[in-house]
Each structure stands twice: as C-alpha cells, then as structure tokens.
C-alpha cells in the first residue's frame, strides 16, 4: 500500500474512534459555568486522600468549562474528551493515557450505581468500542452528572439520564 493511502486510512480509522457525537446534549450547562467544587475534604469519607484527589480533579476540569472542542486538543483554546481527563487527572498527580479507550483500561471497573465524584464514565459514540469519556461531577438522587468535552458545545456537564448518553454508556471506572 502506498504511504499516502496508509496515512489516509489510519487518519480515517482514528477519527471514527475520536470523542464525538452527532447530537448536542447538556444538562443546564449555564448552571455550571463558574461553579465552585464542593470541598469533599470536609465531608465524612472513608479515605480522605481520595476525596482530596477527586476535588483536585474536578476543580481542574471546571477550569475548562466552556472551552471549545478541538480534536486532539489539550489546552483551554480547545480540547477533546480525553484531553480534559488528562488535564484534570494531572492536577491530582496522575498521568492518564491520551485516548479514551486506553483510559478505560485504567483503574478498577465499577457499577454505575456505585460511581462517585471523580470516577470516569465511558461511552460508545462511534459505533465501535469506547470513543468518549467523562468525569463524574456529582450524583444526585441516583442521577449521574458528568463533565466532558462535547463536539458542538465544548466542555459542559451532562446527565447520564439523557437518552443519548444512557443508550451509549459502556462502563465506569475508579482511578482515584
């Protein structure tokens, strides 16, 4: 195969598995623009260091609220879903892989009903395997809210109860 054909094929395959969705969804994203992260270190938690790490992860993720989506991006001028995770977890001193499907291999798989702030939720938005990731922002009355980079609205908070995300949920993991 010619080099340029291989290059085009590789780019096509990679772009299909990137963080994307054809539908825009968000859960009251305007409510989260300058939201302060609840200080979990003041709550009764079995492992205070985990609570502190989750707080660091979420504080860093909130710094990117409203940042535009950019495929392969990792800065406030534009980033994709896995770029958001890399930046947020770096604030807690944890290096994460670059691609969401590789990030899904990190940590321990947990049931969705057991997720906590700072856990990761993974989705299949491209038709094959894991192609999107979000960070659990909060769980309220059993409803899971997660911060992620949307292709059309940039970094927003969405609910897993939304039909689009609920149908595409694959798994949740705990890295912290």
Cite the active site residues.
Answer: 81, 132, 148
Beginning with the edge strand found earlier in the chain, give each strand of the sheet holding 108-110 in spatial order. 108-110, 169-174, 120-123, 132-140, 143-150, 154-159
**Separation of alpha carbons 145 and 37, rounded Å:** 13
Chain centroid to Cα 126, Å, comes to 16
How many helices (H) and strands (E) would you count in the chain? 5, 8
């Amino acid at each position: 195969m010619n080099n340029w054909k291989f290059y085009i094929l590789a780019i096509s395959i990679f772009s299909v598995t990137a963080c994307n969705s054809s539908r825009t969804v968000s859960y009251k994203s305007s409510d989260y623009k300058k939201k302060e992260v609840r200080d979990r270190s003041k709550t009764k938690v079995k492992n205070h260091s985990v609570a502190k790490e989750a707080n660091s992860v979420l504080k860093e993720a909130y710094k990117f609220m409203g940042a535009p989506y950019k495929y392969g991006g990792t800065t406030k001028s534009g980033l994709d879903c896995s770029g958001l995770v890399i930046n947020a977890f770096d604030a807690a001193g944890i290096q994460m892989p670059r691609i969401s499907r590789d990030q899904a291999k990190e940590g321990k798989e947990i049931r969705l009903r057991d997720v906590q702030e700072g856990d990761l939720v993974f989705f299949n938005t491209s038709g094959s395997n894991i192609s999107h990731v979000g960070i659990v922002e909060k769980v309220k009355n059993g409803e899971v809210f997660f911060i992620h980079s949307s292709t059309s609205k940039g970094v927003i908070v969405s609910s897993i109860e939304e039909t689009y995300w609920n149908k595409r949920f694959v798994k949740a993991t705990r890295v912290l």
